Structure 1
Amino acid sequence: DEKIYSTPQCVICKVFPTTARGYATHLYKYHKSTLGKNGIYLLCACRQEVRNSHRDPNHTKKCDGLQFNLLKLEEKIHSTPQCILCEEYPTTANGFAIHLQMYHNSTLRSNGIYLVCSCGKEVRSYSTDPDHTRKVNEALPTEDRYIRRIVSTPQCVLCETFPTTACEYATHLLVKHKSTLIMNGIYLLCACRQEVRNSHRDPNHTKKVNFVAS
């Protein structure tokens, strides 16, 4: 007799993962792929959305993940921003930072961004801040949390990187592109009105994050 499975089949092979997290892990481990890359996400019986293989202790407490459906991403309007390096939609600010580190060996800072949680807290790196976690959990239900992408510095004129300081911008041009500010016909102006025209560090100039390319 043909076995009847209670969970959806892998979209790439004939395996039937038994849990929602196991489904995401299977895609990554055996196919070097993700839910997002396949245009899908998982919805548990508890109504929790699963978009990656990260373990969510809050989800584990309320659900065993044994009953879930597979849904297409185009059927969903996302309340959180898409990863800037792939098609995933991390569901929390910390999850966004963890995703960058785990899947792309990257950070918020190296991509010139930070996150603003719905509670107003700025998230600039992965952090296990219990006060922040408690504040968000008490103030808002899971589905109402959101992250906003904010780029506070100009994009490199030669690539998609957002250096986070004026000196770093000039250094990035030199190291990554064998180029300079002058070669590209630009200079940088810090918030303190100090002009930056090369990557040399000026000890008298306090580093500023906010600057504009002129």
Structure 2
Amino acid sequence: MSVYSLPPAPPSDEHQLFQRAQALSGFTLGELATRAQWVIPADLKRVKGWVGMLLEFYLGASAGSKPEQDFADIGIELKTIPISAQGKPLETTFVCVAPLTGNSGVTWESSHVRHKLARVLWVPVEGERHIPLAERRVGAPLLWSPNVEEEELLRRDWEELMDLIVLGKVESITARHGQVLQLRPKAA
């Protein structure tokens, strides 16, 4: 792997993005940070998005903090997910902010969350807290799009949550609302 001081150009297609992600598999976050000349934080308490930003750097993501897919030109969102030694996710993952106003006429098909979840590059990273951040390894990536059943579950959850938001009942929403898609405070 080359040493990067500048990020690579955005990937030209899905295949190139996936190859780049596969090339990161097996490296520790410390190795990647050192090669990119990034400072490794002691922990993620104040820089929760650091792992994602590091991988975005290597993969050539173009969105930054804009509310669009990380690889908008090829229609792919990047999601890093901390996993256990058994390969199970250790936490939920943030997709996007839920709009509390201006929802008139918005449908599942035109929603921001559906757009973000249409095609996702999942990159697992060791996430158990006893592993120092610099020693956590990047896992094998997975390109995912929801199948018909998953899309229906997402749509139903989105519609339930949006109904509550539009009716002004956002304060009544809890983690029990939604089977696969949930609304949480940003800090949760």
State TM-score, norm by structure 2: 0.28
More strand by share: 1
Structure having the higher Rg: 1
Pick 1 or 2: higher relative contact order, CA cutoff 8 A, min separation 6: 2
State TM-score, norm by structure 1: 0.26
